[in-house]
Structure 1
Amino acid sequence: MTEAPLTPGEYRELVSAALRDSAHADTRPPEPHSLFMPDAHRTALYVDNVVVPGGRGVGKTFWYRSLLDDRLRELAAVEYRINRLRHVRVVPGHGLEMCHDLYPGTRVLRSLVEGGEEPYDIWYTVLLVSLGQEDLRGLSEWSDRIAWVRAHPGEADRTLERADREARAENTVHLLLFDALEHLHTDRTQADRLIAGILQLALRMRFGTGSIRLKVFIRPDMLKSATELFSDASKLSSYAAELEWSSTDLYGLLFHTLGNENGEEESGELARRFRVLTGGWDPEVEGGRHVAPLLLRNDAKSQEALFEEIAGSVMGRGSRKGKPYTWLPNHLMDGTGRISPRSFLKALSEAAEATRTHHSAHDRALHYESIGKGVQEASKLRVAEVAEDTPWVKRAITPLAGHLVPIAEPVVFREWKNADLPALLADDSARYAEADKPSAVRTGPRRPDDLPRLIDELIALGVMTRRNDERLDLPDVYRIAFGLGRNGGVPRPKP
């Protein structure tokens, strides 16, 4: 019996159900069915690649947690054909979870740094604890552990050498993972020093041992500022693999998510029908995981044809505004050309809800006006994320609200001076330094009083771009929620 095609309403229900929690991926542990593996991420999982840069929402924490999970690591080893992942012992060196026995938390790190401890010594101690150094097991305070390592350098090094020999003999690798580095310290200068210590240790292990490795998931801006603090940092570029998402990767993620929806009985049945109708899904199921055919994972023509069934072929009544398949990622791209999968899935989720509310009789699951509404909501999410990670960015862009982009640089400087931005940024830095909460970690610009340098930092973050005529622009994913306009662009949300 032939499977009946999904109606627009059924497609809409499947999109809503599958993407309902997409904006909160960091709060849920990854599961086999949610494990999507873009081809571009393969090198990030190579054991010898020690630095994995990536912006907010691109999958740093997802991969950090997946590598710590034996089941997910095995799935990655199979699909990416990285046999070495089957022979690793993985331990967290820093992350969002509170694990005092394994690594110091934010308050402890702050105390250690203010007490004069060298960042490299802190992380060397964390590594030795992960290797099971016996003399450190009976010490509960990190200050005592670091003091022991400093007082016993020979024994510490012998522990490292012995662990490396044993791992080589067993053909295994000891892998220490680092994530959530924006939570290391309230002061950006101290955070840079702590990250530099991690990276120096990573380099030493990469060149000095055969079977002990660090893997550091880090924001590109934090990597850049930390690597300016030590001389051998240039060597890291040979052992770095950025987490990037192409448009085909994003649509591959969408179709993987639709085909692996396993929530309510009704939506699970819709996912089954979706797999049957699109065809070619891997019949092998690991922990409820279904693997989409290659054409849906990385072939643009096949993806576009399927997405047309969901969203139509034009972004309006004519073809002037383009096709939904290309329009959506183009309007979610930041100034560096990167797209966050979280923003992409959020836009689609909101588009489904807006279509249900305002265009329920539409002949496609997603109405083009609702896709624009989804981009507005994705922009709100992206701005909320950047405000959490780098609050100074919100401080800098807020005075520009109401202006049209592109905007002349002197106009930006004028608005910043009128808002007394350097003083506000200095006050923020002082207040964050006094905060005594791990959740209050903030990072600021490196030179808040240097307005041209602020422009350069915003460009490096992808929040701004500079046009050939020297005017400044903001990509839509930031512009919309920050309240700046653009002639003919996606409108700002109405109050």
Structure 2
Amino acid sequence: MTEALSAHEYRDLLSAALADAITGDARHPTPHTLFTPDSHRSALYVDNVVVQGGRGVGKTFWYWSLLDETLRSVAAKEYRINRLNRLRVHPGYGLAMRSECYPGPLVLGSLLEAGEDPYDVWYTVLLTALGLPELRDLTEWSAKIAWVRAHPGPAERTIEQADRQAYDENIVHLLLFDALEHLHSDRRQADRLISGILRLALLMRFATRNIRLKVFVRPDMFEAASHHFADASKLSAYSAGLEWTHSDLYGLLFHYLGNEEGDTAERFRTITGGWLPEAAGARHAPPPLLSGDPETQKRVFEEIADPLMGNNVRRGRTYDWLPNHLMDGRGQVSPRSFLESLSTAAETTRTKHPAHERALHHEAIRAGVQQASVRRVKEVKEDTPWVRLAIEPLADYQVPIPEPTVLGAWKDAGLPARLAEEGAQYAQADTPDKVRTGPRDPQDLPRLITELIELGVMTKPRSDGRLDLPDVYRIAFGLGRKGGVPRPKA
């Protein structure tokens, strides 16, 4: 019988397994890290052309996984989507510099300055992926686009022939788009570029049988870009979201622990039982109960972490407490935040509670939530800068806050003028109603509350109308809560 892991061994395993898990888009997926939560299955349907998700939920992970034939084969098997085995996948845009496949940010900027239509840019990228010979001999993207514009007939026939041949061969050409926040430093221009991608995705979805685009995009960017062309609403029927349930998050954790290299991970697999080795041991699939059954997960996790968040059950059970305190107002948890909080908790326990009987001390888990909040607030400031302007005047208040108090704090801080000034740089003189980089109406403060609720930054759960902030935002933004996780010390 295999001896149980000690607290030190679990702590070391956590640190090793999660060391690279929180680095985000810089790390490419491998068989060791490929986890297939049931809730992501629809995102991999070939005909779902839009995959929406916020920061850290797996957009780039699935982009790279679909580009990799080995990982795609694993996903096809575990999701039972045989069509994934019949794909010819092409990169349409991503973080990697691949000028032979698509123009990078600097080139895109120059193309827009020259007056190119974003749709023409991506249409040319598609034709390049399909192997149009005349484009293969041209180096500059401006020349490629000019050729396509001058030869519309051959361009259309290339798509028709590629679609017909793919149908005969029973394959699908799939063009992938990711990292769209890096398309252009000007959000207005980024919206135009994304709109061009979506227009092309819609056309291919309805005009061809075997040519598809799959666009990984943040919800706010999808909403903003959709206002730039007609029929964008049709894409909603072919859209999926990347969401994570509590059991998905713990399944991901155990997947990482079981796929780490070394004897400790092997002993963990033996103790928990039921792991299935694949591809000559390159990947170990966790048993269904460990990857998706809350009761089984709770039992295993309580061998690793304190079962309670204090001296009694009123403080909360750790298994539920952790994801609940990382949840945004829409009930969503970023797996990156979840894994970062556990990584921080392991290091904090090692430093402050080295002799603790379990690998994770409950106070260290609180510190992990604080660190995850810092990262999440940094991300929201980058993604939607106007949120920072709205929440910072509320610092040092304690939630829940009466709505009149919030409105009064905003008026005292001159928030409408500050929001208008922030949004002015994105204003588009001819069609200002199409710009969605800030709140819809900076002067309408009650509506601003509605928008913050839609973003998941704020909630209104109480019948008395008081407003709340989820801990994942509240802590780092500097708001207090009686009996809640304290704000990090400066």
Give the CA deviation at 1:300: 0.7
Aligned partner of residue 285 in structure 2, secondary structure: coil
Matches of 1:97 and 1:446, distance apart in 2 = 34
Is the 8 Å Cα contact of residues 66 and 89 (structure 2) preserved in structure 1? yes
Give the match for residue 211 of structure 1: 210
In 2, Cα distance between equivalents of 1:173 and 1:150:
26
Distance between the aligned counterparts of 2:231 and 2:49, measured in 1? Answer: 14
| Aligned-residue offset at 1:337 | 0.7
Separation (CA, whole Å) in 2 of partners of 1:187 and 1:17: 39
| AA matched with 1:383 | V
2:398 paired with 1:399? no
Tell me the residue number matched to 1:117.
116
* Whole-Å separation in 2 of the counterparts to 1:193 and 1:451: 28
- Tell me if structure 2 keeps the 8 A contact 1:350–1:373: yes
Shift of 1:319: 0.7
CA-to-partner distance for each residue in 1:191-231, whole Å, 9 max, x for gaps?
22222221121111111111100000011111122223333
CA distance in 2, matches of 1:280, 1:239: 36
One-letter amino acid of the structure 2 residue matched with residue 62 of structure 1? F
Alignment RMSD (CA, Å): 2.1
Equivalent runs, 1:161-180 vs 2, <5 Å: 161-180=160-179
Greater CA deviation, 143-152 or 253-262?
143-152
Deviation for aligned residue 1:70: 1.6
Q: Secondary structure at the match of 2:215?
A: strand
Structure 1 partner of 2:475 = 480
Output aligned runs, 1:368-379, within 5 Å: 368-379=362-373
> Which residue does 1:310 correspond to in 2?
304
The structure-2 alpha-carbon separation of the partners of 1:146 and 1:430, relative to structure 1 and needing over 3 Å to count, comes to farther
Deviation at 1:425, TM superposition (A): 4.6
Q: CA deviation at 1:19?
A: 1.1
Distance 1:379 1:163, change over 3 A: same
Output one character per residue of 1:97-136: Cα deviation in whole Å (capped at 9) or x when no partner.
1222221222222332333322222211111111111222
Query: Which of the residues 345, 353, 358 maps onto 1:364?
Result: 358
Contact between 1:186 and 1:443, CA under 8 Å: does it hold in 2? no
Distance, in Å, in 2 between the alignment partners of 1:209 and 1:244 is 29
Deviates more, 1:180-189 or 1:94-103: 180-189
- Partners of 1:188 and 1:446 within 8 A in 2: no
1:426-461 per-residue CA deviation (whole Å, 9 max, x = no partner) reads 55567799xxxxxxxx95555555544443332222
**TM-score using structure 1 length:** 0.92
Alignment of 1:34-433 (within 5 A): 34-262=33-261, 268-286=262-280, 288-425=282-419, 428=422
Q: Secondary structure at the match of 1:241?
A: strand
In the TM superposition, residue 410 of structure 1 has moved relative to its aligned partner by 3.6
In 2, Cα distance between the equivalents of 1:469 and 1:232? Answer: 40
- Counterpart CA distance in 2 for 1:491 and 1:286 is 47
**Partner Cα distance (1:455, 1:124) in 2:** 40
Size of the alignment, in residue pairs?
A: 481
Cα separation, 2, equivalents of 1:421 and 1:41: 39
Fraction of identical pairs, as percent: 66
Give 3-state SS (helix, strand or coil) of 2:213's partner. strand
Q: C-alpha separation between the residues in 2 aligned to 1:38 and 1:180? A: 22
Contact between 1:58 and 1:341, CA under 8 Å: does it hold in 2? yes
Question: Contact between 2:188 and 2:426, CA under 8 Å: does it hold in 1?
Answer: no
**Which secondary structure does the structure 2 equivalent of 1:22 belong to?**
coil
Letter in 2 for 1:37: T
Give TM-score, length-normalised by structure 2: 0.93
**Closer, same or farther: CA 464–354 of 1 in aligned 2, 3 Å:** same
Structure 2 residue ranges without an equivalent (≥5): 428-435
Q: Classify 1:417/1:102 alpha carbon distance in 2 versus 1 (closer, same or farther; 3 Å).
A: farther
Counterpart contact for 1:182–1:443, Cα < 8 Å: no
